[in-house]
A and B are shown apart, each in its own frame.
Chain A
Amino acid sequence: MIDLSSINPVVLAAALMVAATPILLAAIGELVVEKAGVLNLGVEGMMITGAVTGFAVAVMTRDPYLGLLAAAVGGATISLIFAVLTQVMMANQVASGLALTLFGLGFSALLGQGFVGVSPPRTPRLDFGWLTELPVIGPILFRHDPMVYVSLILVAAVWYFLNYSRGGRILRAVGENHEAAHALGYNVRRVRILAIAFGGACAGLGGAYLSLIRVPQWTEGMTAGAGWIALALVVFSSWRPWRVVLGAYLFGGIIVLQLNLQAAGFRIPVEYLAMSPYLVTILVLVVMSSGRARKTLAAPGSLGRPFHASG
């Protein structure tokens, strides 16, 4: 029996923002990393590390905000392993990133052993007074936990930083042509290490959002590919912050919709519904990033290439 009337569009829209936030956080961090010319495939590993450290600290201190902070620190710390490998020891970025993901998955399972089945402290929702009371708009936009808004503010900040600040200009220059940036006297390695750490912190926050707010529980491997989706979003959004938001919300929307369709008894094997968010997101973003104005859509010129300052 299909009962579409059980799907409430307002609840759906509100849930969409929550479902999209972890991916959005991880993707905006990775966008900065790739703009600096580094390809870090370890997003999944950094997310899950953030998820477990955030969860553990929140449970032990009974403070969700300390947990989120710890997740950012944890994600940044583990990303520094990648930074040392690729920027100091000149290891291959693809291999190091994959290693980081595998390491993060294993390491988080180890750390999280005592936390399975524990419930974390609740993160309160923000109350915007009369805004929250508004019909339709209130529940969709103004009845969320703070991290939903933090993620959007973060996107705006990254967009402003990259396009309108000197630091952002230097970061883009390093990613576009590291030899030229070096010749002008910029410290390519330092810029990249800072970018990697920022990306790690964002991915850690995204992971903790899953374990502390969205689920909220700790289970092994709970990120379940969200890091990979974040990586794909960055590429298909052609390295533009606002398009990352669009992609993440689209993905979140379809996740929520397919869950609702399953609940409504839609007669399609569950597996098809479960893979639909991935397919639709990738399709839409591929269509968006094909065609017009290729030059500005192109990847940062030095993306994934190791830089070694010689002579």
Chain B
Amino acid sequence: MSEPLLAIEGMTKTYPGVVANSDVSFDIGKGEIHALLGENGAGKSTLVKAIYGLIRPDSGSMRWRGAPFTPSAPHEARAAGVAMVFQHFSLFDALDVAENVALGMDNPPPLRRLAAQIRKVSQDYGLPLDPDQLLGDLSAGQRQRVEIVRCLLQDPHLLIMDEPTSVLTPQEVDTLFRTLRQLRSEGRSILYISHKLEEIRALCDKATVLRLGKVVGRCDPRQKTARELAEMMVGTKLHQPERPPHAPGEVALEIRALNLASPSPFGTRLKEVSISVHAGEILGIGGVAGNGQDEFLAALSGEMRAPRGAVFVKGEPVGHLGPNARRALGLLCAPEQRLGHAAAPEMTLTENALLTGAWRQKLVKGGLVNWTKTRGFAEAVIKRFDVRTPGPQVVARALSGGNLQKFVIGREIMQRPEVLVVNQPTWGVDAAAAAAIRQALMDLAQGGAAVVVISQDLDELLEIADSFAALNAGRLTAKRPVRGLTLDQIGLMLGGADEDTDAAA
């Protein structure tokens, strides 16, 4: 067997109170797409930061083509031939594409020559880019191209990609995979980090699975099912959310031709949004982030007031009402941002339970808070949704993302809403907690509530939703039943079509 490109031996890194990596070893061969699989907090990011020279491991060694490799800064890693595409892009909105590329290079040529190189490389790999465009004007897919082109200009031997598809439409993912396969055929290696199992099965040659900082498995992902991979990641049998057959009831939520400007200067205006959701139905709303999801949620929660006749709950116009009046009528919402929007970080779980539960749970009487009853409500949420915390007296900030998410979703579900709207219910939540949240949403719909799930995770929507609609630049497509919907159709609904003609040009 030929020598691996990069061999990692016994890597250990601890932070105060956390072992991020413990005795991790694996090899990446030449011309191989190697998957690094694991849940949030499994230690994937720490590991790649060590390879890229951003942190130093406490112990363990790396060998690059057989020679010891100890990068102490990113430029040393880049000099050896390691390039990295970051999960949250390392790009600058106020600078143009060429400047952004130059910032990621150690000895950039003058900008004019660099612009020509960018054009050439981006054409060669099917990733068209205009070097003079301001980065702030680009879509997520185009931003990623900037990152990739920046890496390719340095002729890397190993390309590290950290969760590259989390912000892409299915069409953009296809374009990306074509590029990655082309790179593999040129003999370059790719370290591909993801928790999207189907992608890994489609793309990768080998996989290393991490759990709590340790390597718990190695496999050929093409030989495994997505379920087997997921169970390797989680370490237990996964409970698959399910729901008995059901028939939709009456219309519970209706939006009629809603037009609304965004309060934020970089927000998206809602344009002619119309949709109806029946009791017992789960409507999934897909779309790439920034296409009006936040505004849509705010328009439903009452944070943004609409004309009276634009939003109806069970036939009653509520568009002009604020959040509390809508809660009283049974329209509840759980926004995406857990800390600071769904929950007040410095307040206890009891106080946070009061914030949205005061009306429906009758926790306030004559202007005074009934703390005993409020604490009881918070405890009930904690118990039913298995929130891991010492008790309701803990402040929200102290909870892990998954536990707090269970709490804020549970808080709304326990108020028995007629209509529940949630945005990104399982974002940044581990697989077991995500499955529990999805099951709870399905149970709620089974009990006769209308549920609207806004998410960028298409797999999640396809798993739990009955019908699907997509937000694109503030417009909502007509809804279609999920059964029989293909990924291609969904991609077109998401508005990926424009992106794709651009990519083919």
Contacts of A176 in B (CB 8 A): 92-95
Q: A173-B103, A183-B86, A311-B55 are in contact. Are A296 and B49 (CB under 8 A)?
A: no
Indicate whether B503 reaches chain A with its CB closer than 8 angstroms. Answer: no
Contacts of A301 in B (CB 8 A): 92-94
A184-B74 in contact (CB<8A): yes
Interface code B69-87, partner A: CB below 8 Å = 1, 0 otherwise?
A: 0000111000000000010
Report how far A176 CA is from B137 CA in the complex, Å.
Answer: 15
Indicate whether A172 reaches chain B with its CB closer than 8 angstroms. Answer: yes
Indicate whether B191 reaches chain A with its CB closer than 8 angstroms. Answer: no
Q: Give A174's nearest chain B residue, CB to CB.
A: B92
A180-B46 in contact (CB<8A): no
The residue that B74 contacts in the complex, of A185, A294, A295, A296, with Cβ under 8 A, is A185
The residue that B99 contacts in the complex, of A169, A183, A186, A298, with Cβ under 8 A, is A169
Minimum CB–CB distance from B69 to chain A (whole Å) comes to 16
Scan residues 5-36 of chain B and give those whose CB is less than 8 A from a CB of chain A. 15, 20
Indicate whether B104 reaches chain A with its CB closer than 8 angstroms. Answer: yes
Interface code B98-114, partner A: CB below 8 Å = 1, 0 otherwise?
A: 01001110001000000
Indicate whether B394 reaches chain A with its CB closer than 8 angstroms. Answer: no
A173-B92 in contact (CB<8A): yes
Indicate whether A145 reaches chain B with its CB closer than 8 angstroms. Answer: no
Indicate whether A75 reaches chain B with its CB closer than 8 angstroms. Answer: no
Report how far A170 CA is from B92 CA in the complex, Å.
Answer: 11
Contacts of A298 in B (CB 8 A): 94
A172-B94 in contact (CB<8A): yes
B54-A183 in contact (CB<8A): yes
Contacts of B104 in A (CB 8 A): 184
Indicate whether A179 reaches chain B with its CB closer than 8 angstroms. Answer: yes
Indicate whether A132 reaches chain B with its CB closer than 8 angstroms. Answer: no
Indicate whether A300 reaches chain B with its CB closer than 8 angstroms. Answer: yes
Q: A166-B102, A184-B104 are in contact. Are A177 and B91 (CB under 8 A)?
A: yes
Report how far A298 CA is from B73 CA in the complex, Å.
Answer: 32
A184-B94 in contact (CB<8A): no
A177-B93 in contact (CB<8A): yes
Indicate whether B462 reaches chain A with its CB closer than 8 angstroms. Answer: no
B108-A166 in contact (CB<8A): yes
Q: Please tell me the number of chain B residues within 8 Å of chain A, measured between CB atoms.
A: 29
The residue that B265 contacts in the complex, of A177, A186, A294, A300, with Cβ under 8 A, is A294
Report how far A185 CA is from B104 CA in the complex, Å.
Answer: 9
Contacts of B86 in A (CB 8 A): 180, 183
Contacts of B134 in A (CB 8 A): 295-296
A173-B95 in contact (CB<8A): yes
A300-B94 in contact (CB<8A): yes
Q: Give A297's nearest chain B residue, CB to CB.
A: B94
Q: Give B111's nearest chain A residue, CB to CB.
A: A164
Q: Give B53's nearest chain A residue, CB to CB.
A: A185
A311-B53 in contact (CB<8A): no
Report how far A179 CA is from B49 CA in the complex, Å.
Answer: 14
Q: Give B107's nearest chain A residue, CB to CB.
A: A166
Report how far A212 CA is from B73 CA in the complex, Å.
Answer: 47
A170-B54 in contact (CB<8A): no
A179-B75 in contact (CB<8A): no
Report how far A181 CA is from B93 CA in the complex, Å.
Answer: 12
Q: Give A177's nearest chain B residue, CB to CB.
A: B92
A180-B92 in contact (CB<8A): yes
Indicate whether B90 reaches chain A with its CB closer than 8 angstroms. Answer: yes
Report how far A294 CA is from B264 CA in the complex, Å.
Answer: 13
Q: Give B91's nearest chain A residue, CB to CB.
A: A180
Report how far A185 CA is from B88 CA in the complex, Å.
Answer: 15
Report how far A251 CA is from B468 CA in the complex, Å.
Answer: 59
Interface code A33-53, partner B: CB below 8 Å = 1, 0 otherwise?
A: 000000000000000000000
Indicate whether B371 reaches chain A with its CB closer than 8 angstroms. Answer: no
Minimum CB–CB distance from A304 to chain B (whole Å) comes to 16
Scan residues 200-252 of chain A and give those whose CB is less than 8 A from a CB of chain B. none
Contacts of A294 in B (CB 8 A): 265
Contacts of A177 in B (CB 8 A): 90-93
B102-A169 in contact (CB<8A): yes
Interface code B257-269, partner A: CB below 8 Å = 1, 0 otherwise?
A: 0000000010000
Report how far A181 CA is from B99 CA in the complex, Å.
Answer: 13
Report how far A177 CA is from B95 CA in the complex, Å.
Answer: 11
Minimum CB–CB distance from A190 to chain B (whole Å) comes to 13
Report how far A294 CA is from B134 CA in the complex, Å.
Answer: 13
Minimum CB–CB distance from A189 to chain B (whole Å) comes to 14
Minimum CB–CB distance from B225 to chain A (whole Å) comes to 33
The residue that A170 contacts in the complex, of B46, B74, B103, with Cβ under 8 A, is B103
Minimum CB–CB distance from A280 to chain B (whole Å) comes to 27
* B45, B55, B90 — most chain A CB neighbours (10 Å): B90
Interface code B132-152, partner A: CB below 8 Å = 1, 0 otherwise?
A: 001011000000000000000
Contacts of A296 in B (CB 8 A): 94, 134
Scan residues 271-311 of chain A and give those whose CB is less than 8 A from a CB of chain B. 294-296, 298, 300-301, 311
Q: A170-B103, A173-B103, A295-B136 are in contact. Are A183 and B90 (CB under 8 A)?
A: yes
Q: A184-B103, A311-B46, A311-B55 are in contact. Are A295 and B75 (CB under 8 A)?
A: no
Contacts of A172 in B (CB 8 A): 92, 94-95
Contacts of A183 in B (CB 8 A): 54, 74, 86, 90
Q: Give A164's nearest chain B residue, CB to CB.
A: B111
Minimum CB–CB distance from A174 to chain B (whole Å) comes to 9
* A184, A186, A295, A296 — most chain B CB neighbours (10 Å): A184
B49-A185 in contact (CB<8A): no
Minimum CB–CB distance from A184 to chain B (whole Å) comes to 5
Report how far A179 CA is from B87 CA in the complex, Å.
Answer: 12
B103-A169 in contact (CB<8A): yes
Contacts of B73 in A (CB 8 A): 185
Report how far A204 CA is from B357 CA in the complex, Å.
Answer: 56
A185-B108 in contact (CB<8A): no
Contacts of A170 in B (CB 8 A): 103
Minimum CB–CB distance from B93 to chain A (whole Å) comes to 6
Q: Give A185's nearest chain B residue, CB to CB.
A: B74
The residue that A179 contacts in the complex, of B88, B93, B103, with Cβ under 8 A, is B88
Report how far A185 CA is from B45 CA in the complex, Å.
Answer: 16
Contacts of B108 in A (CB 8 A): 166
Q: A173-B103, A295-B137, A311-B55 are in contact. Are A185 and B75 (CB under 8 A)?
A: yes
Interface code A180-199, partner B: CB below 8 Å = 1, 0 otherwise?
A: 11011110000000000000
Report how far A296 CA is from B99 CA in the complex, Å.
Answer: 15
Q: What 3 A-B pairs have minimum CB-CB distances, sorted nearest first?
A: A185-B74, A180-B90, A176-B92
10 of the cross-chain contacts (CB-CB < 8 Å) are A166-B102, A170-B103, A173-B103, A177-B92, A177-B93, A181-B90, A296-B134, A301-B93, A311-B15, A311-B20
List 7 additional contacts besides A184-B74, A311-B45, A311-B46; criterion CB under 8 Å: A169-B95, A172-B92, A172-B94, A181-B103, A294-B265, A295-B136, A311-B20
